[in-house]
């Protein structure tokens, strides 16, 4: 791919070095054996290089590749026979060799310093990816690799602090924004480039758009990846390179690949024979992989009309007969949803949300359900969509059920989506009705940070009904207050303050009945975060006033009976007798 003058200059340099070594008076010098051996080796390599000068056939092959790339740049679809001839001469003869070539080219990017050189390699990657699909057909990974990947997705649970709050994936380049929250650089940059000036997690306005590298967290993630035998360094650079060096040729190659795959899906998706469905699965898998590469690929796939077709593979029937196809379809939609404009497409295209909800409720595998939950989480990144998603009972109940019964990785995906939905007051009522409060109490022992954070949001916006439902979790909140992480203790204290203020004397009495609770609160006041110390002080003041019989000053309204009283609602607090039934 390099211009001919570069190759000529290299050959001239090699020739001059070879001549210099030929006349160099080696035997007249006092050189040790190691140096002599090195000189002989260099002589041999220079001699080989002169023999390996680019021949006419190699020059013609290079010119053919350049001609195809120039055509793609002008939006001319390559001739299939010509493409096949080129790849035969390159000795790339099947899907496996295409994948190997793409990996080699991605590694080569890391060895180049010039942006132009990197850009040419990215264009080549686009060409190889297109040729792989056109010449050799779509293909799924081998059963061994697929089994390994599936086992890893279920067994290797990425710690919550290592996952990007936007993509839910392992952070490769963690950065801190103005609000103090940490995100993966690629995800938060895409968020900002899409016109947002708020923190995705907190909703606060960003005072500035500077991204500060979180070196300490990155080192911790790298160490964890090493222990888990997960690649880390290489993937970071590759993603950056692919994302930042996209050029006209690479973009058009990606567009052609997406159109080819979607057209193939369109022509065959109505066929129900097992063999043809396996072929459809291979096509959808190729779309899934392509949708994970970069923003341009996600845009091309959606513009080609893939989302409308993928909906057909989300049904319960497809999951029953072809579970892998259902997983690949919902995961492709998840990958597409990372792009902001695609979120709107997914929300507006008829049947997509219902399809995702069906996978969430009755998906054939935990992986399918987890990725459906992650899709909901991705969509709730747009504040305007939270209310619409919260109105879908199947979505809300599906998330709660997955958080309650799923494996740990799936639980985390569901909990992240629930937390976003809990930001909408109207949706909180549906979360309470679906058992979200009881769910958080059930998982608090194993996932305290996530459970307490959700419970805090629910009782804050859910009113008396949510507080009454949370009554059974007061003792567990006390345990978190004593044994949890700093963030979990802070959220537990905030939750208890809200419950005591809204609930009244019965809630305070239940809290006061926890052995040693005042000592725990004093400890939090001494060593907790700023917010944690403030909430602990408020909590201690509530307990002291209750003990002195001055309980009216810190609550929103309660009586000394077992009921919460408001102007419109009376909620009975669970008693020990009623809990035993």
The 10s digit of each residue's pLDDT in 435-480 is 999 999 999 999 999 999 999 999 999 888 999 999 999 999 999 9
Tens of pLDDT, residue by residue, the chain (581 residues) = 454 555 566 667 777 777 777 777 777 777 787 877 887 787 777 766 655 555 678 888 888 999 999 999 999 999 999 999 999 999 999 988 998 998 888 888 777 777 777 888 889 999 999 999 999 888 776 554 455 455 544 446 678 788 888 777 788 889 999 888 899 888 888 788 777 788 887 777 888 889 999 988 988 888 888 777 666 653 433 333 343 446 899 999 999 999 999 999 988 655 555 567 888 999 999 999 999 888 899 999 999 999 999 999 999 999 999 999 999 999 999 999 988 899 999 999 999 999 999 999 999 999 999 999 999 999 998 888 999 999 999 999 999 999 999 998 899 899 999 999 998 889 999 999 999 999 999 999 999 999 999 999 999 998 889 999 999 999 999 999 999 988 899 999 999 999 999 988 999 999 999 999 999 999 999 998 888 999 999 999 999 999 888 754 455 444 433 333 333 333 444 443 333 44
How far out from the chain centre does Cα 579 lie?
A: 40
Q: Is 75 helix (H, G, I), strand (E, B) or coil?
A: coil
pTM of the model: 0.76
Query: Of 417, 388, 389, 385, nearest to 401 (Cα)?
Result: 417
Q: How many CB atoms lie within 10 A of CB 148?
A: 12
Chain centroid to CA 568: 43
Phi and psi for 261 in degrees, rounded to 5?
A: -65, -40
Element (H, E) at 414: helix 408-421
Task: List % helix, strand, coil for the chain (3-state, nearest 5).
Answer: 70, 5, 25
DSSP 170: B
Contact 493, 460 (CB under 8 A): no
pLDDT, residue 453, reads: 92
Using the 8-state DSSP alphabet, how is residue 183 labeled? E
For 515-566, what is each residue's pLDDT tens digit? 999 999 999 999 988 889 999 999 999 999 998 887 544 554 444 333 333 3
pLDDT of residue 566: 37
DSSP run (H or E) holding 176? strand 174-176
In angstroms, the CA 228 to CA 170 distance is 13
Closest CA to 303 of 269, 267, 256: 256
pLDDT at res. 571: 41
What is the rounded CA–CA span in Å between residue 456 and residue 467?
Answer: 10
Three-class DSSP labels, 443-507: HCCCCHHHHHHHHHHHHHHCHHHHHHHHHHHHHHHHHHHHHCCHHHHHHHHHHHHHHHHHHCHHH
∠ CA 343-348-354, rounded to 5°: 95
Number of DSSP helices (H) and strands (E) in the chain, helices first: 32, 5
pLDDT for the residue 277 = 83
Closest CA to 258 of 226, 306, 217, 313: 306
């Amino acid at each position: 791919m390099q211009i001919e003058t570069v190759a000529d200059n290299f050959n001239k340099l090699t020739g001059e070095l070879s001549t210099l070594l030929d006349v160099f008076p080696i035997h007249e010098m006092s050189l040790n054996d190691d140096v002599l051996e090195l000189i002989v080796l260099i002589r041999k390599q220079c001699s080989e290089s002169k023999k390996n000068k680019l021949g006419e056939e190699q020059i013609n092959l290079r010119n053919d590749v350049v001609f195809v790339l120039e055509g793609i740049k002008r939006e001319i679809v390559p001739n299939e026979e010509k493409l096949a001839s080129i790849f035969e001469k390159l000795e790339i003869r099947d899907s496996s060799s295409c994948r190997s070539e793409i990996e080699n080219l991605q590694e080569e990017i890391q060895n180049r310093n010039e942006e132009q050189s990197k850009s040419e390699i990215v264009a080549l990657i686009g060409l190889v990816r297109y040729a792989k699909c056109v010449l050799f057909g779509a293909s799924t990974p081998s059963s061994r690799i697929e089994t390994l990947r599936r086992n890893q997705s279920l067994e290797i649970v990425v710690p919550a602090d290592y996952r990007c709050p936007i993509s839910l994936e392992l952070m490769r380049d963690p950065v801190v924004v103005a609000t103090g929250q940490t995100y993966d650089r690629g995800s938060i940059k895409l968020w900002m480039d899409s016109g947002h000036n708020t923190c995705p997690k907190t909703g606060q306005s960003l005072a500035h758009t500077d991204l500060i590298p979180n070196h300490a967290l990155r080192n911790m993630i790298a160490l964890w990846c090493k222990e888990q035998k997960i690649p880390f360094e290489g993937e970071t650079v590759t993603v950056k390179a692919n994302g930042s060096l996209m050029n006209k040729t690479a973009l058009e190659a990606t567009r052609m690949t997406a159109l080819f795959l979607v057209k193939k899906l369109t022509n065959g998706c109505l066929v129900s024979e097992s063999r043809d469905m396996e072929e459809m699965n291979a096509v959808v898998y190729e779309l899934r992989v392509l949708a994970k590469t970069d923003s341009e690929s996600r845009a091309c796939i959606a513009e080609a009309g893939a989302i409308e077709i993928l909906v057909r593979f989300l049904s319960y029937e497809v999951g029953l007969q072809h579970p892998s196809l259902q997983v690949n379809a919902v995961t492709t939609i998840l990958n597409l949803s990372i792009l902001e404009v695609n979120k709107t497409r997914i929300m507006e295209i008829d049947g997509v949300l219902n399809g995702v909800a069906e996978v969430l409720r009755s998906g054939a595998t935990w992986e399918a359900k987890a990725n459906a939950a992650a899709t909901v989480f991705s969509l709730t990144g747009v504040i305007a969509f939270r209310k619409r998603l919260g109105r879908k009972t199947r979505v809300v109940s599906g998330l709660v059920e997955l958080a309650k019964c799923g494996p740990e990785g799936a639980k985390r995906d569901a909990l992240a989506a629930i937390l976003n939905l809990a930001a909408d007051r109207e949706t909180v009522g549906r979360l309470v009705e679906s058992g979200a409060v009881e769910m958080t109490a059930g998982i608090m022992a194993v996932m305290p940070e996530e459970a307490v954070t959700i419970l805090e949001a629910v009782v804050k916006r859910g009113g008396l009904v949510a507080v009454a439902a949370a009554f059974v979790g007061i003792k567990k909140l006390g345990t978190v207050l004593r044994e949890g992480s700093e963030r979990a203790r802070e959220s537990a204290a905030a939750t208890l303050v809200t419950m005591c203020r809204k609930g009244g004397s019965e809630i305070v009495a239940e809290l006061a009945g926890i052995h040693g609770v005042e000592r725990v609160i004093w400890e939090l006041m001494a060593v907790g975060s700023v917010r944690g110390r403030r909430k602990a002080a408020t909590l201690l003041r509530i307990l002291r006033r209750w003990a002195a019989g001055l309980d009216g000053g810190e609550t929103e309204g309660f009586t000394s009976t077992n009921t919460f009283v408001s102007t419109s609602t009376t909620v009975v607090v669970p008693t020990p007798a009623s809990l035993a039934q």
